[in-house]
């Protein structure tokens, strides 16, 4: 009972909270019955700020270049969230008066824009924001359509581009001071945390959008019509489409699976150069592009292809993640063999097959039984904070204890990055 969230006022049978994960690409809100300790509703939306930039740096640039940029992007995200709140309230037949607290996680730029704060500090080195500690607002101040006094708790951050979403992930991993683990949230801005028996380091790796399907010739996000799995079986390219419909594009998990499959088939050199596909029985265009799906199997009636440049984009993305891993291990005086476990977080991490990640060199060649997918742990951590003052205190402790490492400033970073460009063939 001592960890239960406390409220001023008379006892109620209906006491709710909302865990909110503000991502660069998408938003997720979970309605939580605080008395029962259960999630009773979940809602997600595309982050409508995308029209002003696909990634955080593009949105920062927009705000720096436009006087009312930050205010405009704040209003967009508030409208987004109010739409989600309305859906959760209506669908679950509750009154907004019964929602007493929101717990918010997200990367530093998204949280600054949510709060209407200046983001110009993220435009130049040393890439810092206006706050790191936990912040508490009211719904009225932020323009959220809830009880005006509803408490909005923004979890603390770590530093630079490593934010409250990473803190949320770590909250779900019970503090085990005797273990050594690596937690990775793979995305456009990959966040990494290394725990060496209680001493912790964090970093943000600018992987770029390839793992989210952007910058790939026929890339798309993991939605209906996306190829989400690719493999080569008996010399034949096989794939699975989300929704079992005609293919519209290929998402990040399938891109990784495809490259891993081509490496296994001996069709990609260590440098990333594709060897002759036709010799292996795979279909190619006259320009030498690999045909993923023929015209009669695609949504638009145009063959879906994978190119040499697509492989280059994968190399850049995986090298960024792997370089971050290598640098954090060096910082701790460890090697990958010392790790007890690797946790893959985030919606994207849920779709990844660990052996494919190892095959392309994004992850070190660790025993795959030591790799775990922990799903959308950021939102789960926010839920835990809603339900437990102990978890809330743990979030604060984590923020204060973790050392943030700026990868670009690390000695020999460029050398480490270039070493990781090649595939481990």
- pTM, two decimal places: 0.89
Cis? peptide before 35, omega within 30° of 0: no
**Shared domain check, 346 and 222:** yes
pLDDT at position 293 = 92
**Shared domain check, 208 and 115:** no
Contact 245, 224 (CB under 8 A): yes
Whole-number Å distance between alpha carbons of 61 and 113: 13
**Shared domain check, 130 and 221:** no
pLDDT at position 177 = 65
**Of 338, 235, 224, 226, whose CA–CA distance to 277 is shortest?**
235
**Shared domain check, 245 and 302:** yes
**Shared domain check, 127 and 49:** yes
Contact 43, 379 (CB under 8 A): no
Residue 22, domain member (yes or no): yes
**Shared domain check, 191 and 148:** no
Give the rounded distance of the alpha carbon of 76 from its chain centre: 21
**Shared domain check, 207 and 135:** no
Whole-number Å distance between alpha carbons of 270 and 201: 31
Q: Which residue has the tokens 């949230």?
A: 185
Helix-then-strand count for the chain, H and E: 12, 17
Q: Write out pLDDT tens, residues 88-136.
A: 999 999 999 999 999 999 999 999 999 999 999 999 988 889 999 999 9
The residue segments making up the domain with residue 295 are 176-381+395-425
Structural domain total, the chain: 2
Residue 215, domain member (yes or no): yes
* Residue 385 burial (10 A CB sphere; 0-12, 13-18, 19+): buried
**Shared domain check, 235 and 339:** yes
**Shared domain check, 139 and 213:** no
pLDDT at position 278 = 54
- Pairing assessment for the beta strands 16-22 and 26-33 based on DSSP bridges: antiparallel
**Of 301, 302, 270, 271, whose CA–CA distance to 289 is shortest?**
302
Whole-number Å distance between alpha carbons of 231 and 294: 16
Low-confidence ranges of the chain (pLDDT < 50): 1-12, 279
Which CATH number goes with the domain that contains 75?
3.30.420.480
Whole-number Å distance between alpha carbons of 282 and 239: 13
**Shared domain check, 287 and 200:** yes
Q: Write out pLDDT tens, residues 148-193.
A: 999 999 999 999 899 999 999 999 997 666 789 999 998 777 899 9
DSSP state of 294: -
Residue 8, domain member (yes or no): no
The answer for residues whose C-beta is within 8 angstroms of residue 321's C-beta and 6 or more apart is 184, 186, 190, 192, 205, 207, 362, 363
Lookup: tokens for 168: 């949320």
**Of 151, 155, 152, whose CA–CA distance to 107 is shortest?**
155
Residue 9, domain member (yes or no): no
Q: Which residue has the tokens 């790799």?
A: 371
**Shared domain check, 126 and 186:** no
Last residue of a domain, one of 101, 123, 154: 154
* Residue 141 burial (10 A CB sphere; 0-12, 13-18, 19+): exposed
| Rounded-to-10 torsion of CA 62, 65, 66, 72 | 20
What is residue 162's three-state secondary structure?
A: strand
Residue 329, domain member (yes or no): yes
**Shared domain check, 360 and 298:** yes
């Amino acid at each position: 009972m001592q960890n239960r969230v406390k409220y001023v006022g008379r006892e109620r049978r209906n006491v709710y909270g909302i865990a909110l994960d503000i991502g660069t690409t998408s938003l997720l809100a979970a309605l939580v019955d605080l008395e029962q300790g259960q999630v009773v509703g979940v809602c997600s939306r595309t982050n409508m700020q995308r029209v002003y930039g696909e990634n955080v740096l593009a949105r920062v640039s927009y705000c720096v270049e436009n006087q009312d940029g930050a205010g405009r992007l704040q209003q967009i995200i508030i409208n987004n969230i109010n739409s989600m709140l309305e859906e959760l309230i209506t669908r679950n037949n509750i009154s907004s008066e019964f929602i007493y607290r929101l717990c918010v996680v997200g990367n530093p730029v998204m949280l600054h824009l949510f709060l209407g704060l200046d983001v110009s500090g993220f435009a130049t080195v040393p890439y810092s924001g206006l706050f790191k500690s936990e912040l508490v607002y009211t719904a009225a101040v932020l323009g959220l359509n809830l009880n005006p006094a509803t408490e909005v708790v923004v979890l603390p951050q770590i530093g630079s581009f490593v934010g409250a979403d990473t803190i949320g992930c770590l909250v779900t991993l019970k503090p085990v001071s005797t273990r050594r683990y690596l937690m990775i949230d793979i995305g456009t801005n990959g966040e990494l945390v290394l725990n060496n028996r209680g001493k912790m380091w964090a970093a943000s790796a600018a992987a770029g959008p390839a793992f989210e399907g952007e910058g790939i010739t026929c890339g798309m996000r993991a939605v209906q019509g996306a190829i989400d799995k690719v493999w080569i079986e008996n010399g034949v390219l096989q794939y699975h489409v989300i929704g079992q419909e005609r293919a519209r594009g290929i998402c990040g998990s399938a891109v990784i699976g495809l490259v891993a499959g081509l490496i296994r088939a001996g069709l990609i050199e260590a440098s990333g150069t594709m060897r002759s596909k036709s010799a292996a029985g795979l279909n190619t265009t006259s320009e030498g592009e690999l045909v993923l799906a023929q015209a009669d199997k695609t949504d638009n009636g145009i063959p879906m292809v994978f190119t040499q440049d697509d492989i280059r984009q994968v190399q850049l993305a995986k090298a960024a993640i792997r370089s971050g891993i290598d640098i954090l291990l060096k910082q701790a005086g460890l090697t990958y063999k010392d790790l007890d476990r690797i946790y893959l977080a985030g919606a994207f991490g849920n779709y990844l097959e660990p052996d494919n990640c190892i095959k392309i060199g994004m992850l070190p060649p660790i025993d795959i039984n030591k790799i775990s997918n922990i799903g959308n742990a950021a939102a789960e951590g926010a839920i835990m904070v809603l339900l437990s003052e102990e978890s809330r205190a743990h979030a604060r402790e984590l923020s204060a204890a973790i050392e943030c490492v700026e990868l670009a400033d690390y000695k020999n970073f460029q050398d480490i990055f270039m070493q990781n460009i090649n595939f481990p063939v």
